[in-house]
Amino acid sequence: MRSGQTVSVGSERVGGKAASLERARDAGLPVPAFAVLGPEEVRVLVEGDPGDERTLRARELVAASLESLGDACVAVRSSGVGEDGEASFAGQLHSVVGVSGLDETIDAVRVVGASGSAELVRAYGASMGVELGAVAVILQRSVETEWAGVAFCRDPVTCQPEIVVEAVCGPGSLLVDGSTTPSRTVLCRETRDVIVPPGEDAQALPPHVLRAVGDLAMRAEELFGAAQDIEWGWDGGRLWLLQSRPMTALDGLEVYSDTFAAEVWPGLIKPLVFDVGNRSVNNAWGRLLTAIAGPVDVDWQCMAGRAASRAYFNDSLLGDVLSYAGLPENALEAIERGERPRLREGSVARMVASATRLVGFALANRTRLRTVEREVQSLRERARSLAAGASDATAAEVARRFDELLDLLEDAAYLSVLAMIGMGLRGMRVKLLARLLRAGGDVNALATPRGEGPISELDEVARHVHELSEAELALFETATTSEIHEVLDRTEAGRQARLAMDAFLEHWGHVATVNTDFSAPTWRDDPMLLWRLSVRTKSVPRVSDEADRALERTGWLLRRHVMRLRRSVVARDEVNDALALVYDGLRVTARRAGNLLTPSVIPAADGVYCLTLDELFSALRGESGPLHDVVEQRQAALVADADVSPPHRLWGLRLPPRWRMLDVERAESVASEGELRGTPASAGTFTGTARVVTDFAEAPKLGPGDVLVIAHADVGWTPLFGVVGAVVTGTGGGLSHAAIVARERGVPAVLGVSDATLAIPDRSRVSVDGTEGIVRVLNIEPEGNESRSDKGDSVWRA
């Protein structure tokens, strides 16, 4: 087969390597001229008698091939039928470069062809469960290279989405024979910018050649539809593609993402907290997805993984389940945002096949969501009952309570998922209807329910606090809780403020900054933070009243559906509060377990969160020995992991070694561009000083001129919204609790800004546009050492 011929060589005839070269050449990639000898001709040249007629015909074919290549010097390479398929056979077969003349070429063909039957090749194939099959040979015009090397579309070690380029100065044979150590450079797939440069002692590939190699690698991936391992050569004026084969090591690797996991378990997550969530929450998701997709052979405990103390959901498994039901892989994420999932080609038939199941599921749970108040009340009562008396429980009682709370958590989590999906579906319906009716305004703002819940009650506390004298208010900055109570009890205004705070803590004291993390402190653990926030809380505009007036101006049909959406939002928040109460029961019970196991099993009570669920139950049954070393090692790992920011996607939960460096450089790149985008959550603009807050205890440092920047937007953070001028978060959508509170307060907010706490420098000057969902970094350098900036300009508009 000659390079100029148009008949397809076909991987089943002459191997994937030859077929890939022809496909790349036909697509316009810079492939040197080549010809292919089929497996039969190669076998004849390797095994045949030199004077045999078939051998002579094979020699003539080689001669004709060389003539078609201009009798140039050639490289002789293998192309096995089973090569570069399920197994790469990389380095197993010989290649001979720099060959010229008929006899020398035939000798090289014999060497390459014979290498396919070597014992090492057979052993490799057996270990991979693959047979090499017949071996064809590629005769490719040699390129006199100034630089040569290989490039991987993904890091071959970590499988992360980075281009890795290895290069040697001179011919590619220096890389193949191992006589020279290549330079190694890592590029960003999107921009081709250098992420990791070669070492100081390595010869650096010229920047324009490096970028060209990155471009060529990505063109090959786009052409073949999979990550490629390419061999390339630079002749001083042109870059050549010498080989391209799939990176077979990626096959079967599951993809994990923190996109949805960051909403469920944000930030660092301890072993016990993860185990509890992985058992109960994943079982709840399993019930839901089984109802949608039907019975599937899935271990729902594999839905999530943990890397660098962060949670990741198994996107591959979730995508397979949703695809089976005819839904796109991002269906749940889209529904949560109130958006319509985009269907892929070929999925309609599967959706039709599962329509009956989907309709039955929807109807059954529509009725259930109508009675959500009764279920929520039952969940709350059971959670409080199991938490009551835990501080005096025996080890056996703690184990029993913990087990019952796990079952209760699964029920609460399932109801929470239903409420979230129900709200998302209604939000999708309202947005579609608003577009059809050409209704203006912000649909999310219209759907904001009137102020209810913890923030309204905390506002009542703030109203009483603001009636205190200046002397009394000054005490809040330094006094303890008991000292404040003593001062408040002296006046009627103070007593009313204390009664309001007591009522607030009775109703909402169980709320934590991360409700799913039962090791996190709650509002009741440090009431002084709430007292100090009450002093700083601004008066609250009645934004919900404005939303009601805007809703009245819409048509009756849209108004009807918006009111239903509001009820869904309220139901979602009530369910999530019941879920928080279950987690609070786990918090109280785990603290008792920690006290019981100290010091015989763990070094200190908080070490209980560094046990696995099995280790905890074993220790409570008295079946465990001391676990001091295990706990201390895991605590040390949590401390170390706090200093890194892992990627949003992982392949096979493999841990890339450069997390911190990669994310810092990515954040600097984003910040230098000056603009970040997220979800517009609360209209208005504000310019002020960014305050990156990772601990709720830092709340007293905030002021009205600050822009609060937090990683996630759980309800536990929302009291801070009444203090600052604007809010930016790393997670959250337009109907999240954080978005609703921001709109109620008239605070501009942009949620879901990727890497917000990393990309926005602390104390830099930023502008927040909550209408368009844009955050602009106006200057990278911090504005000074003052604790906060009280300067800021804000404009709120409906």
pLDDT score of 667 more than 70: no
pLDDT computed for residue 84 by the predictor: 46
| Dihedral sign from CA coordinates of 624, 627, 631, 634 | negative
Instruction: Supply the pLDDT for residue 694.
Output: 86
User: Which one has a higher pLDDT value, 645 or 71?
Assistant: 71
Q: What is the mean pLDDT of residues 375-390?
A: 88
Distance of alpha carbon 660 from alpha carbon 156, whole angstroms: 19
d(CA 192, CA 208): 11
CA distance 515 to 731: 15
Question: CB count, 10 Å around CB of 637?
Answer: 15
What is the reported pLDDT for 367? Answer: 61
Lowest mean pLDDT among 101-105, 456-460, 586-590, 771-775: 456-460
Specify whether the CB–CB gap between 24 and 244 falls below 8 A.
Answer: yes
Predicted pLDDT of residue 248 = 67
Q: What does each C-alpha distance from 389 to 383, 466, 508, 523, 606 come to in angstroms?
A: 12, 37, 19, 20, 20
- Rounded average pLDDT over 278-302: 76
Secondary structure of residue 167 in the 3-state scheme: strand
pLDDT reported for residue 288 = 75
**Which strands form 194-196's sheet, in the order they lie side by side?**
194-196, 183-188, 162-169, 147-152, 228-234, 239-246
pLDDT range class, residue 643, cuts 50, 70, 90: confident
Of 376 and 291, which is predicted with more confidence? Answer: 376
244: Cβ–Cβ under 8 A, 6 or more apart, which residues? 20, 21, 24, 220, 224, 228, 229, 230, 231
pLDDT tens, position by position, 311-341: 998 887 777 766 665 555 555 555 455 455 5
What distances in angstroms separate CA 565 from CA 359, 577, 631, one per listed residue? 20, 18, 46
Q: Which of 406, 394, 384, 287 is nearest to 622 (CA)?
A: 394
Work out the average pLDDT over 82-94.
Answer: 50
CA distances from 459 to 477, 537, 543 (A): 19, 8, 14
Query: What six digits make up the tokens of 177?
Result: 């024979």
pLDDT of residue 270: 96
Select the more confidently predicted residue: 453 or 460: 460
Tell me: pLDDT of 662 over 80. Answer: no
Name every residue whose Cβ is closer than 8 Å to that of residue 169 and which is 6 or more positions away in sequence. 146, 147, 203
Cβ-based burial of 269 (10 A; exposed 0-12, middle 13-18, buried ≥19): buried
| Dihedral of the alpha carbons of 245, 248, 251, 257, in degrees to the nearest 10 | -80
Mean pLDDT, rounded, for 65-82: 84
Mean pLDDT of 123-140: 62
Confidence at residue 204, expressed as pLDDT on a 0 to 100 scale: 83
Question: What's the average model confidence in pLDDT over 211-225?
Answer: 94
Statement: residue 26 has pLDDT above 70: yes
Q: Where are the alpha helices (DSSP H) in 337-436?
A: 348-353, 355-370, 372-387, 395-436
**What per-residue confidence (pLDDT) applies to 266?**
86
Count of CB atoms situated within 10 Å of the CB of 53: 10
pLDDT confidence of residue 511? 92
Describe the strand order of the beta sheet including 34-37 as a list of residue ranges. Answer: 34-37, 135-141, 74-80, 96-99
d(C-alpha 647, C-alpha 29), whole Å:
32
In DSSP notation, 97-156 reads EEE-SHHHHHHHHHHHHHGGG-HHHHHHHHHHT-----EEEEEEE----SEEEEEESS-T
* Mean pLDDT (whole number) for 772-781: 83
Query: What is the Cα–Cα distance from 640 to 18, expressed in whole angstroms?
Result: 48
766 bridge partner residues? 688, 777
pTM of the model: 0.71
- HSE-up of residue 45 (Cα within 13 Å, Cβ side): 29
Give the whole-number percent of the chain exceeding pLDDT 90: 32
In the DSSP assignment, the letter for residue 253 is: P
230 forms beta bridges with 151, 244
Please say if the pLDDT value at position 665 is more than 50.
Answer: no
Residue 346 is predicted with a pLDDT of: 45
Rounded to the nearest integer, the mean pLDDT of the chain is 80
Helices (H), 147-206: 173-176
Q: Judging by DSSP bridges, how do beta strands 726-729 and 749-751 pair with one another? A: parallel
Give the pLDDT score at 87: 41
Question: Rounded distance, CA 691 to CA 768, Å?
Answer: 13
